[in-house]
Amino acid sequence: MNFDWVYLNPFHETGYSGSLYAVRDPFRLDARFRDPDGGEDDAQLGRFVEEARKVGLRVMTDLVINHTARDAHLAEQQPELYRRDASGGIASPFAVDPNDPTLRTLWEDLAELDFEMPASRDALLAYWDRYVAGLQALGIAGFRCDAAYKVPAEAWRRLIGEAKTRQRDCLFAAETLGCTFDETKATADAGFDYLFNSFAWWDGAQSWALEQYETLRTVAPSIAFPENHDMARLAAGLDADDPDGVARALKGRYALAAAFSAGILMPIGYEWGFRRELHVVDTSPQDREETGVDISAFVGALNRLRAELPALNVEGAQWRLSAPDSPALALLRMDAGHPGAASHATLVLANLGASEQPIEASALLMRTGGAFAEFRDHTPGAPPIALAPGDTLALAAGEVRLFSASRAVAPKAAARSQPPGGEGRVIIENVWPELDGGRTPIKQVVGEVVEVWADIFTDGHEKFDAAIIYREAGEKAWRRAPMAFVDNDRWAGRFPRERNARYQYTIEAWRDPFATWLSEVEKKRAAGVDVRLETVEGLRIVETAASLAGNPDGEGLASLVASLKAAEEGSETQLALMLDPSHVALIERNAERLNVSRYGPELEVVADRLAARFSAWYELFPRSQSGEPNRHGTFDDVIRRMPYVKDLGFDVLYFTPIHPIGRTNRKGKNNTLKAQPDDVGSVYAIGAEEGGHTALHPELGSLEDFRRMVGEAHRHGLEIALDFAIQCSPDHPWIKEHPEWFNWRPDGSIKFAENPPKKYEDIVNVHFYRGALPSLWLELRDVVLFWAAQGVKIFRVDNPHTKPIPFWEWMIREVNDRHPDVLFLAEAFTRPKMMRKLAKVGFQQSYTYFTWRDTKADLIAYMTEIAASDMGEYYRPNFFANTPD
C-alpha cells in the first residue's frame, strides 16, 4: 500500500491487566507476540525489522516512558523513581475530562514515573536510553511517544539527543492531543520530528482543525489519521449491508486525511472496513472480520500520489477556499507559508454532504491568487476532470478530488528596444464623443459644432492646457480649437464642420510653464513676497516664446523682449511689462508647450447634409402612375405627380426598383406563383435581356427620360431615392457573365432565394465571397456610382442585414469619398445589434421599430433608447407608417 513505516503498539511483557500500554518489562517480548520457534526475543525482533526492510518499510514503535505497569520490575527494584499519591503510595496516571473538570479517568493498572526530581530523572533517562539504544541496535528507527506532554521537555531533549547521536535519521513523533499550545510547543521544541494532530475528530466544517494546523505547522509537521486505535471505528457507523457505500466513505475520509498534513497514519483493518474497536487487552488475530470491503489498492495509489506531490509532504499554508457552511469543502495546500514563496500547490475538493454538490471552478481559482498554473486532477481510480474558469464541477456524495499545480511561470519579458521617453505625462482619457474605441465615427450635419469632452490632468501643481486638433479628411495640416476646464479635471471644447465631409479630430494637452509662472507670481505678490527672481525667470519664458513664434506675433514678442532687456533685471518695470494684459495674451499664444500628450486614437465625425438628419419620404411604384389600369406608367407620369407630392410636404420621392424584370418564374398578381402573359412581375426580380442594375425598365422610359425626371424633381424641390436591391432574377445578365458570383446546386441548377420554408423562385442571391471577391464588390459599387452620376443621391438599401457588414463598410466609404452628399438608408428589420452595426459602418439613415410601437409608454421608451443613449451619436431613425409588404 506504499506506506513508508509500519507502526507497532507496545509489544513488551505486560503487567497483570494485560494492557499493551501497561509494560512490566520493556526488555522482554510479551508471550502473545513470541514466535513458536522459541528464538531469543532480540533475534525475533531483528528478523521482523529485516523482513520489513525487504519490502521497503521502516519500523516504528510506541515509546511509553511516563509510566509502567503497576507490577513492573522497575517498581519492585527502584520504587523511588515513581511519583507518590497523598497516601504515600505509587501514583497512577489520570486524565481530566476537558468538558467536565470534575470527572477524572484513573488507570489503576499503571504507575507514573517521576521526572520532576533531578535524581530520579537522571536514573530514568539512563534506563530509557538503554532501552531505546537496544531497539535502535535491532533496526527500529522510529518512536511514537505516547502522552509525550507528560514528560518534561528537558528529559525528551536529552533522550532524543542521545538517540539521534547514534542514528541521525531516527524519527520521534509526539502524541500531544488535548494539550495547550504552550505544552505542545515546549514538547515539540525538545527535538520531535512530528506531532499528531486532531484531524480524526474534525467534521470538515468547524474552524478549529485548520486553526490548529496553522498554529502548529511552524512548530513541527504533523500526522493525521482517519481513525485511531483507541477510538471507535469509522465503518462501525456505516451501513454494513452496503459494502460499496462503506468503501466510498472510507476512501473519502482517507483521502482527506492524507491530504491534510505532512504525515498520515492508518490503523490495521481500516482498509477492510473493520467495525470492532481495537482493544489494548483483548484484540487478537481471531478478531479479523469479513466485511466485503477492501480499499487497499486505493490506499496504495493515494500514498504513491502523496509522495509525488510536494505540497503534501511539507506543512506549508493551508487555506479553506469554500464557505464554512458549504457541504463542499475546498482546501488549498502549498509547499510554503505564502503563495509568493510556493512552488507547488494541492487543491482538495471534498463533498461532505449526502447528495451531489456543484462547485464553481472560477471562485476557487480566484481564491488561489493566480500564483499557480493549471490545476490537474490526480484522483486515484477516477477519470480526471478539468478545473477551468467557468466550469462547474459536480461532486458525488462523499467524493474527494485531488488536484495539483506548479507555480505559474511568467512569460519572458521582451527586451526593451529603447529607453523610456517619458511620453504621456499629461493624462487624457474618458474622451467623449468616442464610439467603439474610435472605430465608429459620430454623425452630425454641416454647420453644427462638435462638442468634445475629456478628463485631463497631470502630476504636481503645474498648470496645463489642452486643445482639440481637427482637420478634414485628406488635409495634412491640423487646425486647433481651445479647450477649457469645466470641473473635477473635466475639460471641454468645440470645433465646427463647415463642409459635407469626413473630419478627423483628437486632443492635445501640455504643461504650460507660462501659466504656471503667472499663477505663482500673482499668489506671491498678493502675499507680499519678493518676486525679483521670478521676474528674471519670466524673461526667459518670454524669450523662449519669441523664438517659437512666427509672424505677426513674432515681431511683437521680439519688441517685448527688447523692452524687457532695456529695463533693470528683476525690476517692477520688467514685471509690469510681462503682466500687461495685451502682453499676457501675446505670450500665451506662443508660450512653450512642455510634455505634449496626444490622445491616441484619431477620432472621426461625418458631417452630412441636412437631408441625412431629416427628410420626409413619399414612396411610389413608377409603373403604377399612369392613372389607367391597362397602361404601364412612365417617368413622364411621375413628373405629373410631383406637384401633388410637394404640396403634401415631402422632400424625397422614393421609387421601388425601376430595372428590367425577369421572365423566368415570374410571379403573377397578388404574388401568385403563376403569371399570366400580361402580368408585369415583381419589381424585385431584377434583370432581364434588356439589362440589369444599371438598366431601366423599357416601358418606364429612356435614360434621358430618367435624367429629365430627376431634373424636374429638383425643380419641384424634391430628391429622387432609388431602391438598391442586391438580388437578381434568373434572367439577369450577371448569371451568364459571372457565374462565380452565384451559388449553384450539385445538379447544376442555380440556388434560388429562400427563407425556409419559403422559396422565391423568381429571385436568386449573389455570393459575396469565394470567386465574387473583389469583382462583385467593385461592380456593386459602380452601380451606385452610375446612378449617382445621373443625379440620384439617396439610396434605400433593401435587406442590408442579409449582406456582409465588411462589404457595406467598404462600399459606402468608396461612394462617399467621391460623393459625400450620397445618403444610404438601411431597410433592416432584424435584431437591434445588427441594425446598430449597419448604422455604425456608414448608413446615414436607418429603419426603426417605430411602426410596431403602439402605446405612449412604448414610444417614450423607444425614443429614449435611440435618442438618449450613445445611439444618438450615430443612429438616425427613419419612421414610417407602413410598407408595401
Q: Tell me: the pLDDT tens digits for 370-398?
A: 889 999 999 999 999 999 999 999 999 99
Q: Is the per-residue pLDDT at 829 higher than 90?
A: no
What 3 state SS string does 374-426 have?
CCEECCCCCCCCCCCCCCEEEECCCCEEEEEEEECCCCCCCCCCCCCCCCCCC
pLDDT in tens, 287-311: 888 999 999 999 999 999 999 999 9
The residue with greater pLDDT, 642 or 34, is 642
Q: Is the per-residue pLDDT at 849 higher than 80?
A: no
User: Any idea which residues carry the catalytic annotation?
Assistant: 798, 827
Q: Is the per-residue pLDDT at 853 higher than 90?
A: no
Confidence category of residue 81, pLDDT binned at 50, 70, 90: very high
Q: Provide the pLDDT for residue 341.
A: 92
Among residues 619, 620, 621, which one has the least CA distance to residue 632? Answer: 621
Confidence category of residue 883, pLDDT binned at 50, 70, 90: low
C-alpha pair distances (Å), 353 with each of 250, 252, 258, 399: 14, 12, 19, 9
Share of the chain above pLDDT 70, in %: 99
Check: CB of residue 221 under 8 Å from CB of residue 194: yes
CATH 1.20.58 domain residues, the chain: 514-592
Segment 149-160 shows an average pLDDT of: 95
Segment 325-343 shows an average pLDDT of: 93
Among residues 775, 644, 633, 787, which one has the least CA distance to residue 703? Answer: 787
pLDDT in tens, 713-768: 999 999 999 999 999 999 999 999 999 999 999 999 999 888 777 778 899 999 99
Q: Is the per-residue pLDDT at 111 higher than 80?
A: yes
- Sheet strands (E) in 474-524: 479-487, 490-496, 502-511
Check: CB of residue 613 under 8 Å from CB of residue 448: no
Q: Is the per-residue pLDDT at 801 higher than 80?
A: yes
Q: Provide the pLDDT for residue 55.
A: 95
Instruction: Please state which of the four CATH numbers 3.40.50.720, 3.40.50.261, 1.10.357.10, 2.60.40.1180 is assigned to the domain occupying 328-406.
Output: 2.60.40.1180
Cα–Cα distance measured from residue 375 to residue 312, given in angstroms and rounded to the nearest whole number = 15
Residues 861-879, buried b or exposed e (16+ Cβ, 10 A)? ebeeebeeeebebbbbbbe
Cα–Cα distance measured from residue 166 to residue 143, given in angstroms and rounded to the nearest whole number = 14
Q: Does domain 514-592 have CATH number 1.20.58?
A: yes
207-216, long-range: CB within 8 Å, 24+ apart, which pairs?
207/324, 209/260, 210/318, 210/320, 213/260, 213/261, 213/315, 213/318, 214/317, 214/318, 215/181, 216/181, 216/184, 216/188, 216/315
Among residues 455, 452, 490, which one has the least CA distance to residue 469? Answer: 452
Segment 329-352 shows an average pLDDT of: 94
Architecture of domain 437-512: Sandwich (2.60)
Q: Which amino acid is at 640?
A: R
CATH 3.20.20.80 domain residues, the chain: 5-196, 610-873
Confidence category of residue 102, pLDDT binned at 50, 70, 90: confident
Segment 418-438 shows an average pLDDT of: 93
Cα–Cα distance measured from residue 800 to residue 830, given in angstroms and rounded to the nearest whole number = 10
Q: Is 699 exposed, middle or buried (0-12, 13-18, 19+ CB in 10 A)?
A: middle
Give the angle 717-723-729 at the CA atoms, nearest 5°.
150
Cα–Cα distance measured from residue 138 to residue 145, given in angstroms and rounded to the nearest whole number = 19
Segment 526-536 shows an average pLDDT of: 96
Helix axes 581-590, 572-579, angle to 10 degrees: 70
Q: Provide the pLDDT for residue 378.
A: 95
Q: Provide the pLDDT for residue 884.
A: 62
- DSSP label at 683? T
Segment 159-177 shows an average pLDDT of: 95
Segment 677-685 shows an average pLDDT of: 93
Q: Is the per-residue pLDDT at 220 higher than 70?
A: yes
Cα–Cα distance measured from residue 847 to residue 837, given in angstroms and rounded to the nearest whole number = 13
Cα–Cα distance measured from residue 553 to residue 807, given in angstroms and rounded to the nearest whole number = 50
Domain at 5-196, CATH class: alpha beta
Q: Is the per-residue pLDDT at 710 higher than 90?
A: yes
CATH 2.60.40.1180 domain residues, the chain: 328-406
Check: CB of residue 31 under 8 Å from CB of residue 295: no
Segment 47-74 shows an average pLDDT of: 96
Backbone torsions φ then ψ of 653, nearest 5 degrees: -105, 110
Check: CB of residue 619 under 8 Å from CB of residue 654: yes
End-to-end CA distance of the chain: 80
Confidence category of residue 885, pLDDT binned at 50, 70, 90: low
CATH 2.60.40.10 domain residues, the chain: 437-512
Instruction: Please state which of the four CATH numbers 3.40.50.360, 3.20.20.80, 3.40.718.10, 3.40.50.300 is assigned to the domain occupying 610-873.
Output: 3.20.20.80
Confidence category of residue 369, pLDDT binned at 50, 70, 90: confident
Q: What mean pLDDT value characterizes the chain? A: 93
User: Would you list the DSSP string of 345-356?
Assistant: EEEEEEE-SSS-
Q: pTM to 2 decimals?
A: 0.72
Q: Provide the pLDDT for residue 42.
A: 93
Confidence category of residue 420, pLDDT binned at 50, 70, 90: confident
